[in-house]
Amino acid sequence: MKEQIAQIFREIFGNEPVLAFAPGRINLIGEHTDYQEGLVFPAAVEKGIYIAIQKNNTSMCKLYSFDFDQEYSFSLHEISPKKGHWANYVMGMVSQFAQAGFNAEGFDMVIAGDIPVGSGLSSSAAFSIAIGTGVAHLFNFSVPTKSLVLYAQKSEHLFAGVMCGIMDPYASAFGAKDKALLLDCRTNTHQEVIANLGEYSLLLVNTNVKHSLADSAYNKRRAACEESVKLLKIHYPQATTLRDIAISEIKEVEKLLPADLFPKAKHVITEIERVRMTSQALRKNDLPKFGELLKASHLSLSKDFEVSCKELDFLSEKSWEFEDVLGSRMMGGGFGGCTINLIKTEVIPQFQREIAEKYTHEFDINPDFILVKLSEGARILD
């Protein structure tokens, strides 16, 4: 991909580019905890977004997307979002740099990626971080990595209209090879945790479905958590989010909350604890415990938080039947996307055959399989 994108740039723009790369990410555990200032446990992966970029000595930015086979140009003097267009990510990052006092000049850019579409590996965050990494290097902007992450998040909010959390751009920027990031969404700080998987691998199984109620359900779940905090503050005045409620208080919380709110609050409180326990399990190299926690996370997301779907439940539950799968759960916001499976590497071909056959028979949909390796974060390529 690196050589290909450089060659495309030379053919289109007749110049030698700077190459940048930012990875997609997985989340080992910790779903729907970020907006309650909880803990999440993401890791960068090998697949991601590549950009080739070079100055063009004008006030224009000329872009070409290899994946969409589209060109787009905009003036640095007239930056405005174009609804639903991929170029918004470039305009958004340039705008964020300018607001911070880093004024880019005109440039040419080619964009390409190898993140599977709809896989939940967060190609949009990788795109924003790749742009930021390339532009900052090209114009010698001295930008701290955490600032780049915040620019990427704000760019998505303002230019792409996606109210994303901090986790995706953070993992893309700070990723470390063979490590996961124990990320605190209250302080926006992290600890690197070695993920020594030995004879096991992380395999994603893509349902290849996305149910339309995902966005509205997300808003309802978020509102339920906020309403729970308001009610719990009477008994726990120090609590500003569910992050502040200890796992030992679950029985008391059940007494204090209405029956429709308690399961949602329970998920967030217990999921934050599962993130802590997973980080401890990996530090002790206790993979069976990691697997148990994956299963517990799925059950909580499905039964308590109610963001799973029949396809995700089917893939998770069938995976649990395999002796060589230590754990499996839905990954991401829910209502489609992938499951993440901790599986013995040598049985992956057999697992793929059997799961594909069962899933296709049940839903008449072919699943996709994505083997992921934990990788380093965004960087300039030689």
pLDDT tens-place string over residues 108-141: 999 999 997 767 888 999 999 999 999 999 999 9
pLDDT in tens, 84-106: 899 999 999 999 999 999 999 99
206 within a domain of the structure (yes/no): no
pLDDT reading at 214 higher than 80? no
Listed residue (205, 214, 246, 245) closest to 229, CA to CA = 245
Joined tokens for residue 226: 């906020």
Quickly state the pLDDT bin for 21 (edges 50, 70, 90).
Answer: very high
What angle separates helix 123-138 from helix 167-174, to the nearest 10 degrees? 50
Q: Which single residue is written with the structure tokens 């803990």?
A: 39
372 with 171: CB under 8 angstroms?
Answer: no
What residue numbers bound the domain in which 163 lies? Answer: 2-194+376-381
Assess contact for 107 and 56: CB atoms under 8 A. Answer: yes
Q: What CATH number is attached to the domain comprising 126?
A: 3.30.230.10
Q: Are strands 107-113 and 60-65 parallel, antiparallel or unpaired?
A: parallel
Determine the Cα–Cα distance for residues 175 and 173; give it in Å rounded to an integer.
Answer: 6
On whether residue 46 sits in a domain, the answer given is yes
> Which residue in 168, 286, 324, 364 is the catalytic one?
168
Task: Give the total number of structural domains in the chain.
Answer: 1
Q: 168 catalytic, yes or no? A: yes
Query: Got the DSSP string for 188-250?
Result: TEEEEEE---TTEEEEEEEEEEE-TTHHHHHHHHHHHHHHHHHHHTTT-TT-SSGGGS-GGGH
pTM for the model: 0.94
Residue type, 60: M
Residue among 101, 109, 155 nearest 128 (CA): 155
- 290: helix, coil or strand? helix
Which DSSP letter does residue 304 get?
A: I
Is 349 inside any structural domain? Answer: no
Report the distance separating Cα 372 and Cα 177, nearest Å: 12
Contact call for residues 60 and 75 (beta carbons, < 8 A): yes
In a domain, 163, yes or no: yes
* pLDDT at residue 261, rounded to an integer: 98
The two structure tokens encoding residue 374: 């934990």
Adjacent-strand bridge partners of 369: 205
Strands 325-331 and 18-27 come out as unpaired
Whole-angstrom CA distances from 56 to 14, 63, 102 are: 11, 12, 18
3-state secondary structure of 97: helix
Within a domain: 109? yes
Average pLDDT rounded to a whole number, residues 265-269: 98
pLDDT at 215: 72
In a domain, 366, yes or no: no
Q: Over the stretch 294-349, which tens digit does the pLDDT of each residue have?
A: 999 999 999 999 999 999 999 999 999 999 999 999 999 899 999 999 999 999 99
Q: How far is CA 158 from CA 80, 83, 161, 208, 277, in A?
A: 10, 11, 6, 29, 36
Tell whether the torsion through CA atoms of 243, 244, 249 and 255 is positive or negative: negative
Query: Is 265 part of a structural domain of the chain?
Result: no
Distance between CA atoms of 39 and 182, rounded to whole angstroms? 7
Report helix, strand or coil for 53: strand
Is residue 216 domain-resident? no
Q: How far apart, in whole angstroms, are the C-alpha atoms of residue 1 and residue 287?
A: 34
Residue 289, pLDDT above cutoff 90: yes
- Say yes or no to pLDDT of 273 above 80: yes
Task: Please provide the average confidence, as pLDDT, over all residues in the chain.
Answer: 96
Q: Residues 365-378: what's their mean pLDDT? A: 97
